[in-house]
A and B are shown apart, each in its own frame.
Chain A
Amino acid sequence: MTTAHTVQSCRYSRWDGQLSRSRWTWLMIVCIGVRLAAKRSRTRGLVIAGGLLVLGSCGMFYALSLLETLVGTSQARGLYDFIRVMLGVDVSGVARLEELRGLLWRCVFLLAVHIQMFWVVLMVAQAGPGVIANDLKARALPIYFAKPVTPLTYLVGKWMTVVVFIAMVTLIPNLASLLLGTWMTGGPGTWGEFLVLAGDLLVSGLGLCVVAGAIVIALSSLTSDRRYVTGAWLAICVLLVAAQAVVRDALPADSVRGFLGCISLKDNVLVLTEWLFGMREAWETAALPSEAFIRAPLSEGSPGCAAVVLAGWTVGALLLCYRQVVRFSRSAANV
């Protein structure tokens, strides 16, 4: 017969292991944050739907590679129309389409980034608001700040949690579709193009993740109710786009080339992405007549101003969040 286990019969045993001074504590915070946020079915749905964009991009790459082989034939007519509708450029007069491959691929990714901006708004609204607000609501801060976790480590961990989710619907699908597109198209020249484009995609994707992540964690640190954070995030996105549209309508085109043209976060991201992809130079050097461009190919606005505005938002948001987190860390024993 065994005796029942009770607290009174149990003796505490000491642990003789060593605690490490890990520099990767923030990564643990990210892992737990991602695991908890991924438990929500809506978050998982958004990630899966964002991943489906890979199929769209791959379809475009397949159409382009097919067009390269069918160029000049009657079978290519449908593909020319498809490219014209999707990318806003008429390439029916081009004999050697592979020379325009880099430009057309960048157009595909620019289109993807346009669509992904909407996804980012939804994903951030779903996965971002709770990162700090939930800890405040559950009064979970002592678990961090009674342990050797600094405010900076906590902030980076929470920030990167949001960054991971944004990357899942932007950066990772883009890199995956680039990889698949390169594999489908083949050829040594394609791999060289792949590396340059991969670098551009990486930088633009990380930039987007960093800016959106910083804004939402700053909002999340201001309240313990995630609904307010969601509302504030959507308001920032929508109101700035609306304000930008009003300014563009009200003022002459020359006046909105500077900071007045950089009010909307979405437009700023697109301006910088186009600049990073080198779209302006690519269009100007492309052997295409001007009437080939069905849609205005480039956004208005100065990349310098857009970068300053986005950097301002990011730094401001991070400073606000850091100030809040330091305040929380100092009152953790009193929560």
Chain B
Amino acid sequence: MSVLNCHNLVKSYGRITALSSVTLAVEPGVVGLLGPNGAGKSTLISVLLGQTPATSGEGSVLGLDIRRRQRQIRRQVGFMPENDCLIPGLSGIGYVRYAGRLAGMTHGDAMQRAHEVLDYVDLDEARYRPAEEYSAGMKQRLKLAQALVHDPDLLLLDEPTNGMDPQGRQTMLALISDLGRAGISVLLSSHLLPDVERVCARVLIMGGGELLATGGIAEMKRPHATLYRLEYSGDGAVFRRRLAERNVAVLEHRDGQLNIELPGEGTQRLVLEAACEAEAQLHGLHPKRSSLEDMFMGAIQRQTDP
């Protein structure tokens, strides 16, 4: 069963369309939500949490209708916002316990569970200190703890590694990976592509309120059949000319390196022929792999330049 389902979801604020006919189905697991500022990520989260009513379309979270079962959805979903959202004056333990109480836990359960999740996010002794005295990394982990306190089935994380140092980032990503292994589905909204690449199995790419691309990271990063990186020595101008005569497109050239696109699969021999004719010596021919950044930029490019 999909944890998130949307069908033609539209959200408009007057004449501004924040979500434009978004249709998606997210399977359980850790999924990345990518998009530039203003892409509609936060609006999508808000609509999924049932905070903002959708203008039209349908959607469900964990099988619960987003229009009719908002409170039930918020019982089963944990949300970690991008900003601090701390309550000044409360200690770490007081803050997480309060979050548990607001979610509907009894006093005893909330207290016990608050200690458990604070242990989990490694806020041991700091739990009794006022939360506003925490470092940026500790605040992020505290926010994760408040989202986890009622043991949700789905976590919505908005920029969870924002403002963290490299070690803190590693810690946060390790926690997210572990949550995924524990059976909690995670929707990770982030600008940091390496973070998404490291912990997510799938990604959703949004832009301009639309869902631009979706798929598994592994399959998106498969080697290209026609894109190659070529290393050579010899006269570069003659070599490029010979390649062009054989319909091999040169995408980028630097000293001794070319990024090329072959006219079809299995046509690598054209490169060898061109090298022979140009009297260039080949040192390497490597199939090119897409990075998440390539995918992201490609999707954005297709949107702006259809």
Contact = CB atoms under 8 A, between A and B. Distances in A.
A146 B174 contact: no
B142 to A, nearest CB: 11
Interface stretch (B42-50, B219-227, B254-262, B290-298): B42-50
B98 A142 contact: no
Contacts of B175: 7
B45 A333 contact: yes
Contacts of A147: 74, 99, 102-103, 150
Contact of A135 (B43, B87, B113, B119): B87
Contacts of A334: 42-43, 46
A233 B178 CA distance: 50
A145 B51 contact: yes
B128 to A, nearest CB: 15
Interface residues on chain B, size class: 35 or more
B235 interface: no
Given A142-B81, A334-B46, A149 B87 contact: no
Summarize A's interface: helix, strand, loop or mixed. Answer: loop
A289 interface: no
Given A5-B124, A10-B120, A142-B81, A148 B74 contact: yes
Interface string B87-108: 1111000010011011111100
Interface in B201-242: none
A115 B63 CA distance: 59
A190 interface: no
Nearest to A333: B46
A237 B138 CA distance: 43
B21 interface: no
A152 to B, nearest CB: 12
A43 interface: no
Contacts of B89: 36, 39
Q: Could you say which of B86, B89, B174, B184 has the most chain A C-beta atoms within 10 Å of its C-beta?
A: B89
A141 to B, nearest CB: 7
A12 B42 contact: no
Nearest to A142: B81
Nearest to B99: A143
Nearest to A22: B104
A61 B265 CA distance: 103
Contacts of B122: 5-7, 10
A138 B85 contact: yes
A333 to B, nearest CB: 4
A130 B167 CA distance: 36
Given A28-B98, A333-B42, A146 B79 contact: yes
B87 A148 contact: no
Question: In which size bucket is the chain A interface?
Answer: 35 or more
B83 interface: yes
Interface in A125-142: 134-135, 138-142
A149 B75 CA distance: 10
A332 B46 contact: yes
Nearest to A28: B101
A328 to B, nearest CB: 10
A80 B58 CA distance: 78
A14 B46 contact: no
Contacts of B51: 145-146, 329-333
Nearest to A8: B174
Interface string B33-66: 0000000001101100101100000000000000
Contacts of A148: 71-72, 74-75, 102-104
A150 B52 CA distance: 13
Interface in B1-52: 42-43, 45-46, 49, 51-52
Nearest to B109: A17
A13 B184 CA distance: 11
Interface string A15-51: 1010111100100110010001001000000000000
B182 A19 contact: no
A86 interface: no
Given A15-B113, A146-B81, A335-B81, A32 B98 contact: yes
A330 B103 contact: no
A144 B74 CA distance: 10
B277 interface: no
Contact of A15 (B42, B79, B87, B151): B151
Interface of B: 42-43, 45-46, 49, 51-52, 71-72, 74-75, 77-79, 81, 83-90, 95, 98-99, 101-106, 109, 113, 116, 119-122, 124, 146-148, 150-151, 158, 171, 174-175, 178-179, 182-184
Closest 8 CB pairs of A and B: A146-B79, A19-B104, A15-B151, A333-B46, A148-B71, A12-B182, A147-B102, A142-B81
Interface of A: 5-8, 10-15, 17, 19-22, 25, 28-29, 32, 36, 39, 134-135, 138-150, 329-335
27 contacts: A5-B122, A7-B122, A12-B178, A15-B116, A17-B151, A25-B102, A36-B87, A39-B89, A138-B86, A138-B88, A140-B85, A140-B87, A143-B95, A145-B51, A146-B49, A146-B79, A147-B74, A147-B102, A148-B71, A148-B74, A329-B51, A330-B46, A330-B51, A332-B46, A333-B42, A333-B43, A333-B49
